Structure formats: structure tokens, C-alpha cells
A and B are shown apart, each in its own frame.
Chain A
Amino acid sequence: QKEVEQNSGPLSVPEGAIASLNCTYSDRGSQSFFWYRQYSGKSPELIMFIYSNGDKEDGRFTAQLNKASQYVSLLIRDSQPSDSATYLCAVLPSGGYNKLIFGAGTRLAVHP
């Protein structure tokens, strides 16, 4: 079982819609959870992190964490074509300080 799993996509949504990206992780004791955005040919860019159960909102982005289900998601409201990128979920595992584990990423395509 992979440590961090994401659907590779592509996830295609129309402009203005809500994009929902999902991630599951295997280590129940994981500490913190991260969403990165990576445009083609560019480096990963940190969008948000969350470490408590529930929702965390930042502008059009909302991260949701459910530790009981070992599930973390990212919602993008009012999706724009400029949001088209690969979204990487990352996890800091238990006892894993200094070791961010990444999922393979979900490619999001927002079409006008």
C-alpha cells in the first residue's frame, strides 16, 4: 500500500465550478498534511497545510482533514483556468520529522 494515495486524474471541471481533490494516507499517526500546486515545468508551491480535524479556509481554497478516515481533501471554489496544474498531497508521518511524503498528484484541468 502506498503511503499517500491520490487519483492521478485528470480531473476536468468547468470554470467557476468547485474542484474537489482527495488524498488518503496509510500512517494513522501522521502529524501534518499539505497541499502543493505544481505547474508543468515548475517547482511545487505550498498552498495550505492542516493538522487538526475539520476545515481550514484560505481564500478560494479549503482543506479538509478527517483523521479517523485517514483522508484529506482540497476544495477549490470558483475554479479558474489558471488553477489548471498538478496538485500534490503531502504528509508528515508519525516520528517523521524532516520527512515529507508526497502522493503522485492529481492533474486538474479547468476549462472555460
Chain B
Amino acid sequence: DTAVSQTPKYLVTQMGNDKSIKCEQNLGHDTMYWYKQDSKKFLKIMFSYNNKELIINETVPNRFSPKSPDKAHLNLHINSLELGDSAVYFCASSSMQGLQGAFFGQGTRLTVV
């Protein structure tokens, strides 16, 4: 199936731990994103990569480090997890610099306890 897929779907971890979320798209898009959706359902951009190059970093704490090994993959590593990091993290991809919208993965629900 053509899609944006991210793993894992659920992640429960303790404060202070380090965790990673992986994302892959097979839509042939050149831009990938990480969005965070908080408990109030507000969807906020964190990072954007275009052809493996970081384009947008929206004042995200440097505990969050994205990595794009190629234009079909974008991973998110989070160090020293805090309670406030609990949210749903969505990976997305687009072509044409987002002019026709972005397509989202199924999300990773991160719970920090």
C-alpha cells in the first residue's frame, strides 16, 4: 500500500528515558514533517525536511533530534523524556513544497510516566 507509515503506534516510557519514532513514506514525496498534537488536539509543526535537508525547526527543545537518512525516511529521537512530551506525534509527507497538502501517518501516542 502507498502510504506514510510510522512505528511504533504506542509508546509508554518513564521520564528520563530516550526513545525513537520511525517514519517511512512510499509516495515519492520530497518533503517530510513531524507534527505534535497535544491533549487539546492542536496540531503544531515541529520539523520539516526537504530532500534530507532540515528546512524548519520550530523552536523545539534540542532534546528532540530528527534525522533523515534519505528522502523516504524521517526519524525522531527524543532524549531525557519529560511528562510534557506526552502527546501524539504525526509524521507527514508532501510534494511540491506542500502546495497540495500533506499526507499523515497513523500517529504515535507517546505517554511519559
Residues of A within 8 A of B (CB): 31-32, 34, 36, 38, 42-46, 49, 51, 86, 88, 90, 92, 97-102, 104-105
Contact = CB atoms under 8 A, between A and B. Distances in A.
A92 B48 CA distance: 13
A19 B49 CA distance: 36
Given A43-B90, A43-B106, A44-B104, A99 B99 contact: no
Given A98-B50, A99-B56, A104-B40, A49 B100 contact: yes
Given A98-B31, A98-B56, A51 B43 contact: no
B45 A45 contact: no
Nearest to A43: B104
Interface residues of B, number: 26
10 contacts: A34-B101, A38-B41, A43-B104, A43-B107, A45-B104, A86-B41, A92-B99, A97-B99, A99-B45, A99-B55
Interface SS majority for chain A: strand
A102 B33 CA distance: 13
Contacts of A100: 33, 45, 94, 98, 101-102
Nearest to B58: A99
Contacts of B104: 43-45
A102 B90 CA distance: 13
A38 B101 CA distance: 15
B56 A32 contact: no
B27 to A, nearest CB: 12
A99 B90 CA distance: 14
Contacts of A104: 40-42
A98 B48 contact: yes
A42 B106 CA distance: 7
A43 B105 contact: yes
B44 interface: yes
A46 B103 contact: yes
B100 to A, nearest CB: 6
Given A46-B102, A86-B41, A104-B42, A98 B107 contact: no
B98 A98 contact: yes
